[in-house]
């Protein structure tokens, strides 16, 4: 999905869903600014000023980034850290143009490399058991709502596909993912360039693959088996007219699977519709990922997407929006420029 500017309704929804991310992203540089001002006051006796002004500036920067790039949480967080660095080091730069250029370069490096560090920490942080709960109101008919929210075998939905259950009643679920890398949307010229690069470097690629094979890099499940691996498995433990309890399993090492947690769906009459409550008890979940889900209202956003789909209306859910970040867009612009240069006059393309 290409980058697109949000509508006014999208802006309001993203402000609500990402309120915790925006609040934390604003308060961090504000706290750093206040601390610097207090130290300056203690050192020279100058009173603390400009807190509200800088808070407003930080809010505009962080909120605009979160609204324009709703699925780039790591980048929004590093933008906040970069603002804090600017606050701390701004007095050192003074009125020097060179000083400000160096300062902006440091902040940009933090925004670029900090993302990878943050994402790595999220994936490798300690695991702990968590209970996640969210609810949403829907006016869809009961049967339609139950069909939309609960998990069932042999179903093909917009965001996932489920298979047939095995002898134990466990069925696979395949999430429908859309890869949006920096090469997305570069067109047939990019494909042509990569095909030509593969032809020109065929011998070198073959030698590297043979060396990797000799080192045992391809031992274990083959590519075909891993490609057909489900995203997770589901077992229905209990099911009534207004309640479902399921157990989820996720892929483990090799082709094995391990228990992930228990999820319950409860349908309660409310007004002219139903309140759907999802309670998920996770056995072991990375604390960094849990923090990210909390900051972006991940569970609530998913329920809203399902609710809107069941009511057959357009959904502003974040998970349905583009996943680009500012750096992704800059990377695509750079790749387009390089693509034009490499395609010019049939230059040799080196993959190294």
The predicted-structure confidence for 225-243, as pLDDT tens digits, reads as follows 444 678 889 999 999 989 9
Count CB-CB contacts under 10 A for residue 83. Answer: 25
| Cβ atoms 190, 183 nearer than 8 A | yes
Q: Which residue has the tokens 């979940």?
A: 285
Q: Which residue has the tokens 């960094």?
A: 288
Nearest to 335 by CA among 130, 184, 231: 184
- Residue 233 has phi, psi (to 5 degrees) of -120, 155
Structure tokens at 80: 């906040």
Structure tokens at 100: 């400000």
What are residue 144's DSSP bridge partners? none
**Can you list the pairs that 261-264 forms with residues at least 24 positions away whose Cβ atoms lie under 8 Å?**
261/285, 262/237, 263/151
pLDDT given for residue 173 in this prediction: 92
pLDDT given for residue 225 in this prediction: 44
Q: Which fold has domain 128-178+226-320?
A: Alpha-D-Glucose-1,6-Bisphosphate; Chain A, domain 4 (3.30.530)
**Element containing residue 213 per DSSP (H, E):** helix 202-214
HEC assignment per residue over 79-140: HHHHHHHHHHHHHHHCCCHHHHHHHHHHHHHHHHHHHHHHHHHHHHCCEEEEEEEEEEEECC
* Angle at alpha carbon of residue 331, lines to 330 and 337, rounded to 5°: 95
Give the chain's residues under pLDDT 50: 179, 181-183, 220-227, 348-352
The residues near 18 (Cβ < 8 Å, ≥ 6 apart) are 66, 67, 70, 295, 296, 297, 318
Residue 311: left (phi > 0), alpha (psi -120 to 50), or beta?
Answer: alpha
- Residue 270 has phi, psi (to 5 degrees) of -150, 110
| Cβ atoms 17, 297 nearer than 8 A | yes
Could you give the 3-state DSSP secondary structure of residue 185? coil
* pTM for the model: 0.79
| Residue ranges of domains in the chain | 8-124, 128-178+226-320
The predicted-structure confidence for 61-119, as pLDDT tens digits, reads as follows 999 999 999 999 999 999 898 888 888 777 777 777 888 888 888 888 887 788 888 88
């Amino acid at each position: 999905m290409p980058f697109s500017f949000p509508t006014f309704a999208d802006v309001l929804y993203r402000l609500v869903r990402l309120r915790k991310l925006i609040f934390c992203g604003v308060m961090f540089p504000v706290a750093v600014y206040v601390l610097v001002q207090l130290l300056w006051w203690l050192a020279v006796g100058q009173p603390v000023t400009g807190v509200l002004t800088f808070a407003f500036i930080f809010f505009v920067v962080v909120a605009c980034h979160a609204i324009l790039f709703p699925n780039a949480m790591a980048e929004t967080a590093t933008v906040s850290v970069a603002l804090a660095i600017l606050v701390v080091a701004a007095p050192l730069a003074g009125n020097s143009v060179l000083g400000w250029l160096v300062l902006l370069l440091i902040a940009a490096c933090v925004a670029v490399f900090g993302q990878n560090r943050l994402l790595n920490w999220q994936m490798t942080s300690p695991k702990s058991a968590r209970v996640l709960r969210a609810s949403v109101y829907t006016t869809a008919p009961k049967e339609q709502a139950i069909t939309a929210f609960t998990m069932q075998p042999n179903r093909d939905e917009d965001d996932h596909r489920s298979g047939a259950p095995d002898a134990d009643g466990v069925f696979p679920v395949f999430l429908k993912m859309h890869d949006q890398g920096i090469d997305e949307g570069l067109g047939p010229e990019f494909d042509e360039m990569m095909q030509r690069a593969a032809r020109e470097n065929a011998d070198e690629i073959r030698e590297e693959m043979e060396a990797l094979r000799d080192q045992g890099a391809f031992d274990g499940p083959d590519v075909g088996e891993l490609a057909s691996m489900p995203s997770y498995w589901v077992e229905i433990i209990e099911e009534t007219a207004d309640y479902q309890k399921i157990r989820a399993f996720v892929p483990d090492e090799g082709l094995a699977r391990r228990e992930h947690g228990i999820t319950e769906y409860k349908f309660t009459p409310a007004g002219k519709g139903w309140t759907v409550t999802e309670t998920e008890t996770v056995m072991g979940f990375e604390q960094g990922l849990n923090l990210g889900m909390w900051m972006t209202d991940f569970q609530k956003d998913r329920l809203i997407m399902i609710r809107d789909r069941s009511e057959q209306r357009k959904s502003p859910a974040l998970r349905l929006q583009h996943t680009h970040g500012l750096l992704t867009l800059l990377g695509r612009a750079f790749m387009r420029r390089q693509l034009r240069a490499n395609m010019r006059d049939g230059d040799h393309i080196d993959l190294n």
